[in-house]
Amino acid sequence: MAAVLELIVGSYEQVVLGYRVATDDEEWTAEANFTHHAHTASISALAASERFVVTGSKDETIQLYDMKKKTEHGALLHHDGSITCLEFYGTSHLLSGGEDGLLCVWGTKKWDCLKSIHAHKGQVTSLSVHPSGKLALTVGTDKTLRTWNLTNGRSAFIKNIKQTAHIVRWSPDGDKYVVVVDDEVNIYDLETASVTGTITNPKRISSVKFLNNSLLAVAGDDEIVRLCELEKLKCVCEFKAHETRVKAVDSFMMEDYCVLVTASNDGLIKMWKLHLKEELEPPTLLVEVNTSARLTCLAVWKPSSVQPPAEEPATASSTSEELARELSKTKRVRIATEVVVLEDESKPRKKKKKDVGK
């Protein structure tokens, strides 16, 4: 069965490009579908929800693009400096970080700024929202890692890092996170907030993506993409993805396999088929596109790409309850199960309380 999805890339040339991908067991194809030229400087960040693609730029604005109508949907003007990172939480919220040190939480219904937090003394370099929606992590040029309680917008705790980290990511289960500093991936445990292990890449890391809770795809300033097992603290599989350095890596699951998406400095985007099994084998190429642009960032848009917490509130709440139970053991972090700021407003059924047996 063919699925609908689009590859979205941002470029130095101020343009956002969309490629419609037709998926088929026999052959995948990718065709240029839209060009969005709303910025006046290079694109620095990109994120996609079920309905919208948001782009951040050095021109200090965040532009909204409606994927359903294929039209521009306005701009978010709040940051005073380049936009450095963007991340959706389900379909209800967007978080943005900037050169101005601000972390902003936006509601996607009216696109209002719900919270504006002075997160770092320098720039915010990366952000990541916990799968429960209750915590966010940010790293910045002030060489700190900060945890934000999204219920009250306050700092939960601060950790000093030896250098500026440029990437932070929660694992899909939210029990750990990775902080990338130059060529190192440091793995942190949620409960203790301390480093449990480090994986060193041969080159500076440009992008990482969790393929499952223990497997991380790592791309850096070379043409190789490495798949690293966090428990084993080593890369178990690597393959030459491009002819020049890889700028961005993303992934999503199809029925029974993982699709890796890579973008390189020479403007190519490639999609790869990877079977997530015990003995990992290098992925096979599904399709490639030459964008002829100098790419900066990448996202995959799928109309059905709702994040698990938004799609399955039951699962999410039980997970965060578990998390809360876990967290209540420590003094550092406590999570209240009854208050959720980043609640998905688009799913009213979540608010109905029903006892389902047992």
Ligand X SMILES: *[C@@H]1O[C@H](CO)[C@@H](O)[C@H](O)[C@H]1NC(C)=O
**Window 167-206: contact mask with ligand X (x via CB under 6 A):** ----------------------------------------
Compute the Cα dihedral for 151, 155, 160, 164 and give only its sign: positive
If one counts every other C-beta atom within 10 angstroms of the C-beta of residue 357, the result is 4
Q: Single out the residue of 335, 340, 342, 344 in contact with ligand X (rule: CB under 6 A).
A: 335
Cβ-based neighbours of 353, under 8 Å, separated by 6 or more: none
- 279/355 with CB nearer ligand X: 279
CB 203 within 8 A of CB 183: yes
**Window 238-277: contact mask with ligand X (x via CB under 6 A):** ----------------------------xxx-------xx
The one segment of 98-106, 185-193, 309-317, 330-338 that binds ligand X by CB under 6 A: 330-338
CB-count burial class (<10 Å; 0-12, 13-18, 19+) for 231: exposed
Which two three-digit tokens encode residue 73? 């949907």
Instruction: Based on the shown chain and the rule CB under 6 A, indicate whether residue 286 belongs to the binding site for ligand X.
Output: no
Instruction: Based on the shown chain and the rule CB under 6 A, indicate whether residue 292 belongs to the binding site for ligand X.
Output: yes
Q: Single out the residue of 193, 280, 303, 312 in contact with ligand X (rule: CB under 6 A).
A: 280
Kindly state the smallest distance separating residue 196's Cβ from ligand X, in Å. Answer: 15
Kindly state the smallest distance separating residue 111's Cβ from ligand X, in Å. Answer: 23
CB 134 within 8 A of CB 104: no
Instruction: Based on the shown chain and the rule CB under 6 A, indicate whether residue 331 belongs to the binding site for ligand X.
Output: no
Kindly state the smallest distance separating residue 213's Cβ from ligand X, in Å. Answer: 4
H or E element: which one contains 323?
helix 313-328
Which two three-digit tokens encode residue 127? 């952000």
Q: Single out the residue of 91, 96, 138, 149 in contact with ligand X (rule: CB under 6 A).
A: 149
Kindly state the smallest distance separating residue 272's Cβ from ligand X, in Å. Answer: 14
Q: Single out the residue of 160, 194, 290, 304 in contact with ligand X (rule: CB under 6 A).
A: 290
Cβ-based neighbours of 313, under 8 Å, separated by 6 or more: 344, 347, 349, 350
Kindly state the smallest distance separating residue 356's Cβ from ligand X, in Å. Answer: 27
Exposure letters 3-30 (e unless 16+ CB within 10 A, then b) = eebbbbbbbebbbbbbbebebeeeebeb
Number of residues that bind ligand X (CB under 6 A): 26
Instruction: Based on the shown chain and the rule CB under 6 A, indicate whether residue 333 belongs to the binding site for ligand X.
Output: yes
Q: How far apart are CA 78 and CA 252, in angstroms?
A: 31
The one segment of 44-52, 85-93, 145-153, 302-310 that binds ligand X by CB under 6 A: 145-153
CA dihedral 212, 191, 145, 203 (to 10 degrees): -40
If one counts every other C-beta atom within 10 angstroms of the C-beta of residue 86, the result is 26
CB-count burial class (<10 Å; 0-12, 13-18, 19+) for 92: buried
- 75/274 with CB nearer ligand X: 274
- 122/172 with CB nearer ligand X: 172
CB 119 within 8 A of CB 138: yes
**Window 18-37: contact mask with ligand X (x via CB under 6 A):** --x------------x----
H or E element: which one contains 128?
strand 124-129
If one counts every other C-beta atom within 10 angstroms of the C-beta of residue 70, the result is 11
Instruction: Based on the shown chain and the rule CB under 6 A, indicate whether residue 135 belongs to the binding site for ligand X.
Output: yes
The one segment of 50-58, 149-157, 179-187, 196-204 that binds ligand X by CB under 6 A: 149-157
Binding site for ligand X (CB under 6 A): 20, 33, 134-135, 149, 151-152, 156, 212-215, 266-268, 276-278, 280, 290, 292, 333-336, 339
